[in-house]
Amino acid sequence: MPVIAHFKMAYRSLVRKKLRSFLTMLGVIIGVASVITLVSLAQGSASDITENIKNLGSNLISVNISPRGFLNTFTYEEALKLKNIPFIQKAAPVVNTRQTVVYLNNKYDNVNIIGTNGDYFDIRNLKVRQGRVFTEEEVDLRRNVAVIGSTIAEELFGNVNPVGKEIRIKNKILTVIGVLESKGSTMGGSEDEVVLLPATTAKMLTSSSRINQVYLQAESPEVVNPAKSILSDYLNKKFKGDEEAYRIFDQTQILETVQKTTNTLSAMLGGIAAISLLVGGIGIMNIMLVSVTERTREIGIRKALGASKTDILLQFLIESVVVSGIGGIIGIFTGVISAYLIKNALNISVKFPPSIILLSIGFSMLVGIFFGLYPASRAANMNPAEALRYE
């Protein structure tokens, strides 16, 4: 019998019992939709993070200092000296703390307070939407000024222009001199939920002179590696050979880390969602076994009329593949729609790699073949005489 005839028979069998066919597909639909939704969200988020990192420039170098006792203390003044290293043109030491920011009766809890200098804005490619950034003179004179993120501005001030207004952090009153343009989230958190202060001012909030991070800008992407080499030698001498006291990263390393993390996360999410496909496959096998039992006399009649084992095997195997294949296609559309609904609801990005769509439909077909093989084999091996006597 031609293969096309088997597909027609499978189609007629599915149409005769629409509800049962749909319930059989449901496990596959949920499985494929889950894979598409979760992986597209993971890939979209990773794409956003990667783009944000690239926007910082390919000549960014980040130095993380681990506080490991008094000898490994790194002060603001020492961090500024890194600008004198060959191939380095800008240095922005960072003092971090988290505090509640208050304006009149409004407050925003757990805000990332960053103490730094004027180079930070250029190195991190931050632009102001309103007002200005603080100057080196304001850093040296410990001025109580602040540049706030767009989310902080909206939450604390609403439609009021924040520039010139005063906010309070702990017991310190600061004048807002600028509002940053919205940038969204990066690996370090949201750039819109920060308050930037002169490092000298921020040190009075933290009661610490330690610098845990320094952002550096190389003269060009081509000199990043030699700059890192010289920087490593300098820090190695500073920390007396303790290589665990510091870590040096550039954009390439950060992007590689993001890519590896994203691939691992996507694989984990895809694997978790694929369990639904296996459950759906078990459902297909159960229904196909029921179908074989219900159609025992039909199988006996077909064999009596000359149908071979191969014909019977193909009939039920193709029926199983059609069920899983249609379920896979519906699952893809369901997954895409679900991802876009989540995107609009949470304002996040989605990305649909063609490979994951092809893999999902291919895996759903394999599920149909794998879990349909046993029922099809059972039908093909029936004894015609016993099948005809079946009530």
CA nearest neighbour of 190 among 102, 75, 107, 108: 108
CA 276/CA 299 separation, integer angstroms: 32
SS3 330: helix
Q: Hey, where are the domains in the chain?
A: 3-51+257-389, 60-219
Q: Is residue 52 a contact partner of residue 363, using CB atoms and an 8 Å limit?
A: no
DSSP letter assigned to residue 134 = P
Q: State the Cα angle at 72 between 253 and 213, rounded to 5°.
A: 40
Query: 86 phi and psi, to 5 degrees?
Result: -50, 140
Residues facing 214 on adjacent strands: 63, 93
Q: Which two tokens stand for residue 346?
A: 């949470």
Q: Which two tokens stand for residue 344?
A: 């609009």
CA 232/CA 239 separation, integer angstroms: 10
SS (H, E, C) 170-183: CCEEEEEEEEECCC
List per-residue pLDDT tens for the chain, 391 residues long: 566 766 676 667 777 777 777 877 888 888 888 888 888 888 887 777 777 666 665 688 889 887 565 555 788 888 888 888 999 999 999 988 889 999 988 999 999 999 999 999 988 888 899 999 999 999 999 999 999 999 999 999 988 999 999 999 988 999 999 999 987 655 455 778 899 999 988 888 876 667 888 999 888 878 888 888 999 898 888 888 787 888 888 877 677 777 777 777 777 776 776 777 777 777 778 777 777 777 777 777 777 777 777 777 777 777 778 888 888 888 889 988 988 888 888 777 888 878 778 877 787 788 877 877 777 777 777 766 665 665 5
Q: What is the pLDDT of residue 165?
A: 94
CA 281/CA 103 separation, integer angstroms: 58
CA 6/CA 12 separation, integer angstroms: 10
DSSP letter assigned to residue 220 = S
Classify strands 88-103 and 213-218 as parallel, antiparallel or unpaired. Answer: antiparallel
Q: What is the pLDDT of residue 55?
A: 63
Residues facing 248 on adjacent strands: 63
CA 386/CA 293 separation, integer angstroms: 12
Q: What is the pLDDT of residue 288?
A: 76
CA 127/CA 7 separation, integer angstroms: 61
Alpha carbon separation from 383 to 176, 293, 304 (Å, rounded): 87, 13, 10
Q: How many residues does the chain have?
A: 391
Alpha carbon separation from 358 to 72, 352, 366, 370 (Å, rounded): 52, 11, 12, 18
Count the alpha carbons within 13 Å of 275 in the hemisphere toward its beta carbon.
Answer: 6
